[in-house]
Amino acid sequence: MTDFRNKVVYQIYPKSFLDTNGDGLGELRGVIQKLDYLKDLGVDYLWLTPFYPSPQNDNGYDVADYRAVDPRYGTMEDLEELIREADKRGIGLMLDMVFNHTSTDHEWFQRAMAGDPEYKDYYIFRKGKPDGTPPTNWESKFGGNAWEYVPKFDEYYLHLFDVSQADLNWENPKVRQEIQNILKFWMNKGVKGFRFDVINLISKGSYEDDNQGDGRRFYTDGPKIHQYLEEMCSNTFGKDPSFITVGEMSSTSMEHCFKYAGADSGELSMVFSFHHLKVDFMGNEKWVLVPADFKKLKEILFSWQQGMSDHNAWNAVFWCNHDQPRVVTRFGDEGEYWKQSAKMLASVIHGLRGTPYVYQGEELGMTNAGFTNLSQYRDVESINHFQILRDKGMSEEAAYCILKEHSRDNARTPMQWDTSENAGFSSGAPWISMNPNYTRINAQSQVGDPDSIFSYYKALIRLRKEYPVIAQGDFAPVDQAHPQVLAYRRSLDGTQLYCINNFYRKPCRWRCPESLEGCRVLLSNYPDAKPGEEIELRPYESMILIRETK
């Protein structure tokens, strides 16, 4: 069985990674061209977000054909070459599988709309209420009601996301068989892993109005979710012990994740949970501006670390992905302490128990986009919510401030390779605006620099492979109540590793409640870091210390 505990996954958003043909869109050949860069970084798997045929209403998460490559991304031959070339470098491909819904352009949905009863049962159609209103008051995650009326049938279909993303009916065994066949198709191509999009939403409970919220309690971690995942696993990737899988778990509970990613559960290798990335929300409300709650961040990170460990379950650990703003803008400093804060935030994640995920550009300290006009945005969620905020009476200026902080497009600006036009991403006009700071923040300036953020990520990835305590050790929080320091200890067979981080710009004196005698500095974002009984932590200072038994 593959031990994924010392592995690191790198997420690629192909559309924004590298364009080799000048059409402004990144494609699979761009990924092939940069495999040596990724090998140098040291990552083990590449998770590619969807490159399947799609109308792109949700940037590819509205899939129209699960077994093909969208021509804008290249050909099946390109993908097969990418699998081969990555494998030569010891890197496996992890594909993104979107099985909660399909695009309404998908052949299955088209047949359903043509009135074929077999395919209509692939989706969730319901009659409206007696007064003709939607079956329930559930809200789409992109805004508005989650049901779309079809006059032809006098029925509604469910779409938890965009109206063009119709939810699949997992109660139908034919749907589950179709999905297993799709997985086998890609496994036969040599793919080494799958990431499952919002997979914990596939089992719906009762279809009734939610008088307490937006409906999510009726479809999150639903009644048959574990049955469905066990069945999918045992019939496909579960037969290959070297295969790795990760489930994106929307608004999940830790108790469910003990099963989703338990060592003996027969469901998934690991899970993404997002609670730690809601500490700058107001409740579950994303489209607000509130300061990040550091105390809550630590509580969530540490409780998941301990809970998952106690139940022999495994986390994916991360700050960034294609749906999250850039972490150095969000929790760090774009200005004077850009480099120190980016490195500190990397230390926090890479020292944890779990498989770290690096999102493209994170290893360079890429920042939020700084867009100032709605015409620059491409994300359907951001555009919809801008209008929702304006309809609520918010000023244009205030609405833009919120988008600048929270829009998913912050993560989707093109990868910054060098200082040439369009950062070396494309010779044409990019599909989304460049971040103008690419002349300062780019791969070319960092790859050979031992003090760069890139080199720091490279060191963190190497340490996970060199020191079993990072990959396998127990986890314990250290001085959890401290208002400024995030610190924890990892332990394995008499070896202790301490990860100590000043999360703020303000310096502080910190006394570790445990003895650090005999510890040496393994890695730090300041060249002269020194452990001691009392440590003067500089702005965003991070140090990883180790004490080994002889």
- Active-site choice (78, 248, 280, 323): 248
Secondary structure of residue 494 in the 3-state scheme? coil
Tokens of 471: 């990959």
CB 56 within 8 A of CB 103: no
Tokens of 549: 């038994």
Phi, psi dihedral angles at 168 (to 5 degrees): -80, 150
514 is annotated as an active-site residue: no
- What does the DSSP assignment read for 26-84? --HHHHHHTHHHHHHHT-SEEEEPP-SS---TTTT-S-S-TTS--GGG--HHHHHHHHH
CA 354 – CA 179 distance, rounded (Å): 28
Q: How many CB atoms lie within 10 A of CB 477?
A: 17
Phi, psi dihedral angles at 126 (to 5 degrees): -145, 150
- Active-site choice (70, 197, 231, 409): 197
∠ CA 46-316-268 to the nearest 5 degrees? 85
Phi, psi dihedral angles at 478 (to 5 degrees): -125, 125
What does each C-alpha distance from 446 to 154, 419, 455, 462 come to in angstroms? Answer: 59, 12, 7, 17
Secondary structure of residue 191 in the 3-state scheme? coil
548 is annotated as an active-site residue: no
Secondary structure of residue 219 in the 3-state scheme? coil
Query: Which residues, in sequence order, are CB contacts of 297 under 8 Å at separation 6+?
Result: 276, 279, 486
List the strands of the sheet with 125-126, edge to edge. 125-126, 155-158, 147-150
In the numeric block, the tokens 């202790």 are attached to 496
Catalytic residues: 197, 248
